[in-house]
Amino acid sequence: MVITIIEKEVLSNQNSIYTLKKSGYEVELFDCINMAMKDSTGDIYLLSAGFSSSNIQDFIIKFQNKPILLLVNHTSSESLKTLLSLGAKDYLMKPVNVDILVHKVKHYAMYDALEKKHALYKNYHEYILKDVHVEQYINEITFPMIIVTNNVGFIDQLVLAYANLKKINIVYIPLNDPHWMMKIEESSSYEKLYISGLETLTIRNQNILFKMLESRMFIVSSFISVKKAYKTVKIVTKNMSIEEDGILSVSDYALMIIKSLQFKYTDVEIAEKLGYSRKRIASLRSKFNLFKEKRMSI
């Protein structure tokens, strides 16, 4: 990461430059703001307020998408308020305390990285959601609830769209993570949870899960139905768009579960999840000519 220092008093910055380099940053130094506007490559800018007000304003406007920290002699001027309103992130009093400087640089480096990551995810999510019609299901979302589906990926996007619409944060916990219990325990009681992969748990662990979720705000998505005292909806999708009828026959639903889980679980375990007998699973395999050696790639 490159830290750009723009300051007329070059020699006064030697200690700051040494400390920043020792902390692992690259440093470039300019004593002319116009040259800095033309040639700088910084990720974070330390800009002296000793240059002309118009030049400083032009600089901040040009680089407003990057963290700019002002180096000032006093904090009472109206010009400082103006510069902060234009997009400068913060200021440091001269002479600069190098420990405070490094702390602020680390803080804004982390802030900038999070901003970029957020922008990346936001753009990606908007792209993914552009052809996914979730509107009719948004109003179905409440906490707590269980969603039974044939397409967990669609439910992921539905929950994401809901979070974006309501401007709320949701903690995602996949149940195929071996540390899912710890993640639930470590989450705050006020946080909303989105939990996927219920079908990967044994009946015993499903009971443990819902015991842990008592009095919590959550959404659980699953391939399989589960009898719990929470609002439950079924959402069936085809090619990431909602079908008109949105209904699978019981046999088709069972077939989907067998195909999805047959290489994770034995037929006895699948039968238990579906509430079927082992004989019924064997009958479905025979009826649909579905055997493990004919597995399709997932």
Q: What is the pLDDT of residues 232-277, one digit of tens each?
A: 988 877 644 434 444 556 666 777 777 667 766 788 888 887 888 8
- Residue 105: is its pLDDT beyond 80? yes
Correct CATH for 135-294 of 3.30.70, 1.10.238, 3.40.50, 3.10.450: 3.40.50
Cα separation, 54 vs 254, in Å, equals 70
Cα separation, 192 vs 177, in Å, equals 18
User: pLDDT, tens digit, for every residue of 129-163?
Assistant: 666 566 777 888 899 999 998 888 888 888 888 88
All residues at 6 or more sequence positions from 129 whose CB lies less than 8 Å from its CB, including other chains? 157, 160, 161
Domain 2-121, CATH class in plain words: alpha beta
Of the listed ranges 55-59, 72-76, 231-235, the least confidently predicted one is 72-76
Q: Where are the domains of the chain?
A: 2-121, 135-294
- Reading the block at residue 25, the tokens are 């940053």
**Is 158 exposed, middle or buried, given 0-12, 13-18 or 19+ CB atoms closer than 10 A?**
buried
Is pTM beyond 0.85 here?
A: no
Cα separation, 132 vs 164, in Å, equals 14
Higher-scoring residue by pLDDT: 205, 157: 205
- Residue 10: is its pLDDT beyond 80? no
Domains 2-121 and 135-294 agree in fold: yes
Note the pLDDT of residue 125. Answer: 66
Helix (H), strand (E) at residue 233: strand 231-235
